[in-house]
């Protein structure tokens, strides 16, 4: 399937968003060398031709993942990423984490689900008359617990199973997230700046992971990929009446992609 060109990123878009600006040359990861164009005034510049190619692959993978009935988990906890992640994940109907990543969110998901059920129970208590039957101190304690759970779990409280892939905005900050996903074999799509290690990322997007405009550009397009995947899924279900040949083909496609793109063998172009 050819991806819709309007949702791809152009060199002009990326230049305007500052995607090409990396970190200072003394703050880099040598594993990012194949993705670099050069350096200017002590700053590494990212090769946007490569970024466009890698983003094309990432977009298509996310779209196909959602079309196959899987979900995408958006993860971005640093200050400039929070609003972008929440807005775009909500726009495309996917899940998100914008507060501190709780260890085990993926690898100990059953425990996380118990916390989510507790959050739902506490939310229901606000409207089902439970508070009226309790003492004020008990209500305050319940509300304190609800607030804490809501802070960390609000973006995933509707997530009933592990996601089909995760989209990460800063792999250094979210190194535990990436590690958990690698351990479970969940594909990782991520923006990788010049100080990042791209070898643990299934679908790396070389680019500036600090500038708001850069984060917004990529995250908006990834959300568009999710929406396109939802649209494809709906069309498949409409034409087949549910599980059918298209579903099998899409699942086979994802299995093939996973086999061809294991995280241990991410191929990087030669410099």
Query: What CATH number has the domain bearing residue 91?
Result: 3.40.50.10490
Under 8 Å between Cβ of 37 and 46: yes
Give the sign of the dihedral formed by CA 209, CA 212, CA 214, CA 219.
Answer: positive
What does pTM read for this prediction?
0.84
Show the DSSP H helices in the chain as ranges.
Answer: 11-17, 48-67, 79-92, 109-125, 136-153, 175-184, 212-240, 245-260
- Write down the mean pLDDT value for the chain: 88
Question: Is residue 143 domain-resident?
Answer: no
Measured distance CA(183)–CA(178) in Å, rounded = 9
Under 8 Å between Cβ of 32 and 196: yes
Question: Is residue 123 domain-resident?
Answer: no
Measured distance CA(203)–CA(170) in Å, rounded = 14
Residues 34-57 have pLDDT tens digits of 999 998 999 999 999 999 999 999
Determine phi and psi for 211, rounding to 5 degrees: -70, 130
Under 8 Å between Cβ of 17 and 175: no
Which domain range does residue 234 map to? 5-106+162-258
Residues 105-134 have pLDDT tens digits of 999 999 999 999 989 888 887 777 677 777
Closest CA to 69 of 239, 265, 237: 237
For 73, the 3-state DSSP assignment is strand
What is the number of domains present in the chain?
1
Question: Is residue 118 domain-resident?
Answer: no
Of the listed ranges 133-147, 152-166, 194-208, the least confidently predicted one is 133-147
Question: Is residue 113 domain-resident?
Answer: no
Most confident region among 17-31, 178-192, 232-246 by mean pLDDT? 178-192
Q: Give CA separation, 123 vs 7, 117, 136, 143, 157, in Å.
A: 38, 10, 17, 9, 11
- How far from each other are the two terminal CA atoms of the chain, in whole angstroms? 29
Question: Is residue 124 domain-resident?
Answer: no
Model confidence at 244: pLDDT above 60: no
Question: Is residue 238 domain-resident?
Answer: yes
CA 5 to chain centre: 21
Which residues lie below 8 Å from residue 128, measured CB to CB, with a gap of 6+?
A: none
Question: Is residue 111 domain-resident?
Answer: no
Question: Is residue 156 domain-resident?
Answer: no
Model confidence at 70: pLDDT above 80: yes
């Amino acid at each position: 399937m050819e991806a819709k060109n309007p949702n791809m990123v152009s060199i002009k878009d990326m230049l305007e968003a500052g995607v090409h600006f990396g970190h200072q040359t003394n703050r880099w990861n040598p594993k990012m060398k194949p993705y670099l164009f050069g350096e200017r005034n002590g700053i590494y510049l990212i090769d946007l031709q490569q970024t466009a190619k890698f983003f094309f692959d990432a977009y298509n993978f996310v779209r196909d993942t959602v079309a196959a009935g899987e979900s995408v988990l958006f993860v971005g906890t640093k200050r400039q990423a929070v609003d972008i992640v929440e807005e775009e994940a909500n726009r495309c109907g996917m899940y998100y984490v914008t507060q501190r990543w709780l260890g085990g969110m993926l690898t100990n998901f059953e425990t996380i689900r118990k916390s989510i059920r507790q959050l739902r129970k506490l939310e229901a208590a606000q409207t089902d008359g439970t508070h009226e039957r309790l003492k004020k101190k008990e209500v305050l304690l319940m509300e304190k617990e609800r607030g804490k759970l809501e802070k960390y779990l609000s973006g995933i409280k509707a997530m009933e199973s592990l996601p089909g892939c995760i989209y990460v905005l800063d792999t250094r900050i979210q190194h535990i997230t990436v590690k958990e996903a690698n351990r479970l074999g969940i594909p990782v799509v991520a923006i990788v700046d010049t100080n990042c290690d791209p070898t643990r990322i299934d679908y790396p997007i070389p680019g500036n992971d600090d500038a708001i405009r850069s984060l917004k550009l990529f995250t908006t397009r990834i959300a568009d990929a999710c929406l396109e995947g939802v649209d494809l899924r709906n069309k498949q279900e409409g034409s087949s009446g549910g599980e059918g040949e298209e579903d099998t083909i899409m699942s086979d496609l994802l299995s093939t992609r996973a086999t061809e793109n294991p995280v241990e063998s991410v191929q990087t172009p030669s410099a």
